[in-house]
A and B are shown apart, each in its own frame.
Chain A
Amino acid sequence: MIRVQTQDFDVGAELEQLAAGNHQVGGIASFIGLVRDIAPPGSGASSSMTLEHYPGMTEKRLAEIEAEAHRRWPLVSSLIIHRYGRLAPGDRIVLVATASSHREAALESCAFLIDWLKTEAPFWKLEEGPKGAHWVEAKTSDDARKTAWKK
């Protein structure tokens, strides 16, 4: 399931829901991405992050990435929640969770989903800190992690 939203989510409730009533699930893996504070610790300064996205294409790409995970691993269910809008340090940005009969499929597919999401889903982060606002640059290490999943 894919959800792109401004509001926060309850990790416990979402993970509970992923396996609810399905006793084929033997394990759930999850990744939660949080907003890091870019202001120096103890500086008293504050920072924030604004996430922009491409409505329509975001949901389409996420659904394609999720379908690819289901092709590669025997998953019972999966969930991707990604927030957009203005967020503060410590806020949750993203939840990726996968449920399978066995742990390898759950753990591997969860890592696959977040690696692919980072290079494929049309989101952009604007960081605002004590030195002003700047767009976060894409990392080549993220591209390398995505490429490593190619087969």
Chain B
Amino acid sequence: MKLLYFAWLRQKIGKAEENLDVPDHVTEVGHLLDWLESLGPNYATALKERRAVKVAVNQDYVGLTHPVKAGDEVALFPPVTGG
């Protein structure tokens, strides 16, 4: 699974992207965020305020119960501020 991080999520996690083999029980966005939090203090800090974390799967906005699978592109980022 390809993970992308933007803005302060990128800074707190310390990288812009990575490829991860996620465990079998991670089948939804919510599970993925829980599992990422367990990877280290940088992830836990970045994902602590869940309401501030938006998720896109394959470049579409999704909710916490949206399915995820190997091969997906999953992006985590704060609420957008363009324009």
Binding site for B on A (CB under 8 A): 33, 51-54, 56-57, 60-61, 82, 93-94, 114, 117-126, 135-138
Contact = CB atoms under 8 A, between A and B. Distances in A.
Interface string B29-58: 000000000000000000000000000100
Given A57-B75, A60-B59, A135 B8 contact: yes
Contact of A54 (B4, B8, B81): B4
Interface residues of B, number: 14
16 contacts: A52-B7, A54-B6, A54-B77, A57-B59, A57-B75, A118-B83, A121-B80, A121-B82, A122-B56, A123-B82, A123-B83, A124-B7, A135-B8, A135-B81, A137-B81, A138-B78
B59 A56 contact: yes
Given A54-B75, A56-B59, A138 B82 contact: no
A94 B81 CA distance: 12
Contacts, number: 66
Contacts of B77: 54, 122, 124
B79 interface: yes
Contacts of B7: 52, 124, 126, 135
Contacts of A126: 7
A56 B73 CA distance: 11
A114 B82 CA distance: 10
A54 B9 CA distance: 13
A138 B79 contact: yes
A148 to B, nearest CB: 16
Contacts of A54: 4, 6, 56, 59, 75, 77
A119 B80 CA distance: 6
A120 to B, nearest CB: 7
Nearest to B83: A118
